[in-house]
Structure 1
Amino acid sequence: MPCLFCEIAAGRVPARIAWQDDTVLAFHDTNPQGPVHILIIPKRHITSLLDLEPGDDQLVGSLVRRARDLAVQEGLSDRGFRLVFNYGQDAGYSVYHIHLHLVGGRKLGWPPG
């Protein structure tokens, strides 16, 4: 079964794109957990955090920087936002392609879940 996020990155599955370049894609989550919920992914398939290679440091930094820029663009920088990487069944990791969640626009409790 093809990876859903790879299909979105290739343009074969529609998504509400927030931003993209040659290596990173950001799109709105179809099951948002807040008024703003954007997923930031590498276009290259990486199954999970455990599959990152030493050379992927710059790519992960790009995901975080893009999330920051989108948070500002979406007006979240004044009140706050959350960035989350999930891994594993207990964390609800259901699409096996590394992705960073940007969630904001409402009060986010702690601890989550």
Structure 2
Amino acid sequence: MRNHTDWYRSIVGTDTEKAAAEKARITTSTLNRQLAKGILSEGNVIAIARGYGKNPVDALLRVGYLTDAEVRGKDDELAARLTDQELIHELAMRINSEEAAWEETFPTR
């Protein structure tokens, strides 16, 4: 979804602009001005998402400020950031997702 107005409506539902602005902690005039132009700023997309309990990264992706590749990152970069213990724990959880099964193996988790 690249249309900012459609994204906005899908998040706020039937709330008025004033109610949405209050939840997002932004000014109503700024929200109205941006909606009239059909483009919400990155900061306001984040604020609205947070105000409605939505993931701001997903919101930025849905309106086109971030790409899917940027959100996912590269798998090798993610793996490189994990400690050996974290990587092994993740693999173990894929084998058996019950934390109790791994309590002795990973006691500090």
TM-score class, shorter = under 0.3
Higher RCO (C-alpha 8 Å, min separation 6) = 1
Task: Give the number of the structure whose residues are more often helix, by fraction.
Answer: 2
Task: Give the number of the structure whose residues are more often strand, by fraction.
Answer: 1
